Amino acid sequence: MTAYQDYKPLTFHDATPRFADGSDTPRAYLERCLETIAAREPVVKAFTAINEAGARAAADASAARWTAGKPLSLIDGMPVAIKDLLETRDMPTQMGCAAFKGNFPRRDNAAVWALRQAGAVILAKTVTAELGGSHPGPTTNPFDPDRTPGGSSSGSAAAVGARMVPAAIGTQVGGSIIRPAAYCGNFALKPTQGGLNRGERQATSMSTHGPHAGCLEDMWQVAIEIANRAGGDRGSVGLIGPSTLPAAVKPNRLIVLETEGWSIIDDATKTDFDAVLRQLREAGVSLIRRADHPLVEALEQAIANGRAVCGGVTSWENRWYQRGIVDNDPAGVSERAKATLAKAEAMTPDDYRMALLARETAQHTHATLAPLADAAITLACPGPAPLWSGDVPGQPLAPRPTGDFVFNAPSSMLFAPVVTVPLMSVGGMPVGVQLMGQQHEDARMTGLARWMNETLKPVV
């Protein structure tokens, strides 16, 4: 375990000049990652599979390209871990679910294919909560093994937070990129809906792929290299932006969103968030809240039931798929997942239609705020990662063992891009802040996040 106040993230972009001049190599970089994995993985438990032989071969090929002055991209040689919901041709895809034990399709997800085309070293598969839901896997928080790393991208977030890899791919339908990043001290991008090609993972209307990384440079580079090769989802224009990290952009005005999570934040987290906001005001950024403008209040009301809307939409869209899994292998699915399925099967088509209507109304309301401010800012999680030691036999199942996605639901239902920035520490644990923009403002949100990261002092 590493004390968060002493934490220095693992980065990749600053190693590439050494690859070019021969003072370092992608293979040596990979070996350092493997050394860290050997030291930390027994406690962190971030991975379901590690392909050391394949990674070494890919790193050696990358080293030859750098020596020849012909790298495929700026992430050529970068070790990347892949959430175990996404297919990989050289490692099983078991989705955190016993019913999929041994599942090995031997093909690449579109994003994984794009990463290989860019020369990235696909090193490992990371633990996911079962089927991308809320039933946790074995992964622990890299800064306190008694706490959750978040979910469902638990292994991806923890692997980056533990400095085992510089970047990893996560997915989100409610809060599964943003919240784990916030709990594990990562930067992360949850793109505009459809921004990165999901390949075979397009069954639900709100799922997205996005990178976790130790720095904004690596986060953006992974995302744009995928988008420049695989594009976005079918029918989507995909992620658009510069070929390297966007320039820092100082915001003039930010909307401070409370969301339905405001009432459950602990006092220490509120105090630290206020300190972030105070720094913004001192830097000349105007802040507006729900009491300051009727359109902000309208948005707060439109997203006030975000958890229920996200849960309803996704549960309905997953129910036939998951019913088939349960019918085929009842013992291979957790009781928590079965309980979620039961709630979905109690829904009617009109329940789903009403959730879609609420989502559409919220998106329209959000769009009307575009001229009002540069972005919205809020917490990325409701405080530090909660303690988690497992369900208690004989007691009801914990409703949210990987943490509450209350601050993440709004961007998911709005299809909006979000960048998570690790600006806070509460009780010695990381707590993230997020910037949310209008659809297709991914690059702008990254530029705003860069300005904040370079300008504001971390609140500890």
Write out the catalytic residue numbers. 83, 152, 176
- Four-point Cα dihedral 261, 266, 267, 270, nearest 10: -40
Taking the C-alpha atoms of 270, 439, 181 and 224 in order, what is their torsion angle to the nearest 10 degrees?
-150
CA–CA distances in Å: residue 59 to residues 24, 71, 92, 452: 12, 12, 21, 34
Tokens of 268: 């220490």
d(CA 426, CA 191): 27
CA 192 to chain centre: 13
Cβ neighbours of 294 (radius 10 Å): 9
C-alpha distances out from residue 164 to 35, 45, 94, 159, Å? 8, 11, 21, 5
Instruction: Pull the structure tokens for residue 323.
Output: 């019913």
Residues 6+ apart with CB under 8 A from 303: 257, 259, 260, 362, 409, 410, 413, 414
341-347, Cβ contacts within 8 angstroms, sequence gap of 24 or more: 341/315, 343/315, 344/315, 344/316, 344/318, 344/319, 345/319, 347/312, 347/315, 347/316, 347/319
CA distances from 457 to 153, 274, 335, 339, 348 (A): 28, 13, 44, 44, 49
Question: What are the distances in angstroms from CA 200 to CA 109, 139, 189?
Answer: 7, 25, 20
Compute the distance between CA of residue 426 and CA of residue 421 in angstroms, rounded to an integer: 14
Q: Dig out the tokens for 226 from the structure.
A: 């995928």
Interatomic CA distance for residues 225 and 279, integer angstroms: 33
Contact between 218 and 11 (Cβ < 8 Å)? yes
- How far, in Å, are 223, 241, 456 from residue 228 at the CA level? 9, 10, 31
Whether the upstream peptide bond of residue 152 has omega within 30° of 0, thus cis, is: yes
CA 435 to CA 255: how far, in whole Å?
Answer: 10
Considering Cα of 365, then 369, then 374, then 377, what sign does the dihedral take? negative
> Which residue in 202, 45, 187 sits closest to 128, CA to CA?
45
